[in-house]
Amino acid sequence: MAFPYMETVVGFMILMYIFETYLDLRQHTALKLPTLPKPLVGVISQEKFEKSRAYSIDKSYFHFVHEAVNVLMDTVILYFGFLPWFWKLSGEFLVYIGLNPENEIVHTLAFLAGVMIWSQVTDLPFSLYSTFVLEARHGFNKQTISLFFRDLVKGICLSIILGPPIVAAIIVIVQKGGPYLAIYLWGFMFVLSIVMMTLFPILIAPLFNKFTPLPDGVLREKIENLASSLKFPLKKLFVVDGSARSSHSNAYMYGFFNNKRIVLYDTLIQQCKNDEEVVAVIAHELGHWKLSHTKYSFIAMQVIAFMQFGGYAFVRNSKELFQSFGFDTQPVLIGLILFQHTIIPLQHLISFGFNHVSRAFEFQADAFAQKLGYKEALRAGLVKLQEENLSSMNTDPWYSAYHYSHPPLVERLAALDESDKKSD
């Protein structure tokens, strides 16, 4: 008797939805608590707490609806065989326009074009509501309708330009990979990830945001002095116009080897009380670099990717897998999609593990900034970012442990204080 892959995948999807909805309900209950956590009393203003509470509850309601619709659509698509139906439909469309559906690359691109149209149409109402109702209601959205759709069109155009050669390369590699398929696939994706990490901030990100050098002044001097003291090879220091789309704030760095760049959101500079708080946030980010967190994460991702490709190579010729989902042929891309569905349980475990490690890295980066003498400025900066982003003040411990890649503010402030006690 053939193994019921499809029924197992759908069953697990529903079980995970039930489990995650339970966690969402726990978090929703925590968000509705009318008082601040004791450690934040006197630290976070009551006005900001009330605004954060309202924003978090609104996002929670939206999340319930969005997730219910997603799991319903995914279940219907898999259980009622819409994937094989759409694969055949895309082949018929190719015949209609005079192209050969036996060419797997062409057939796959036609299939993906239809999937992209479907996903854009079904997700558009949620994106519009999230941006122009939910985010706007709480003062975050700065986008116009025209800017929103310009970004959408740019994203689609990038997919049309970048997608076909990548998909074609994957299909050719799988068709000709032989016993070394996993190595070839991993090697291709490794090179692709390096290329994209190099080109994205230089060629793609500027299509959506304006990057300008941080003007000369005290802030620039302090950041450059900090980078120099840590021997961080800072080449460029940018400010990005995040305020053109949202009031949310952030900072990040990118680049390989001795070609590093730091990017500050203009909202971060505006929201922090003084330059010292901004520098403290950068000290935290430099802590990730100094402690090799980015390197360790990248290596871990490569190991996991190689293991996944190894698993795919093992089952890619399984007729049972394809037949279970209603396919009578074995297209390369379809095989990858089905395989990804079958390892969803493993992916959840990996995500949980990554979140646990990420939280540990955040504590370490905070401690690094503290050792550099930025404890008070970092505390103030973390509090200011929590307030200005209206981040959740009350969090359920189970929800936080499962979902959060960053520790809640209460835990970060407590860790900074505990580190001080240990050093006394």
Binding residues for Zn(2+): 284, 288, 362
Question: What is the spatial distance between Cα 367 and Cα 14, in angstroms, rounded to a whole number?
Answer: 40
Backbone angles phi, psi at 235, to 5 degrees: -100, -40
Encoded amino acid at 246, one letter: S
Is 224 an annotated catalytic residue? no
Give, in order, the Cα–Cα distances in Å from 130 to each of 123, 133, 140, 154.
Answer: 11, 6, 11, 20
Structure token digits, residue 42? 């006197």
Catalytic residue among 24, 135, 277, 366: 366
Annotated binding site: 284, 288, 362
Q: Which helix (H) or strand (E) segment is 423 a member of?
A: helix 409-423
Question: What is the spatial distance between Cα 80 and Cα 328, in angstroms, rounded to a whole number?
Answer: 15
Count of CB atoms situated within 10 Å of the CB of 403 = 16
Q: Which residue has the tokens 């000709």?
A: 176
Catalytic residue among 285, 387, 396, 411: 285
Q: Could you give the 3-state DSSP secondary structure of residue 343?
A: coil
76, 83 contact by CB (below 8 A): no
Is 58 an annotated catalytic residue? no
Beta strands in 350-391 (DSSP E): none
Encoded amino acid at 215, one letter: P
Give the residue numbers marked as catalytic.
Answer: 285, 366
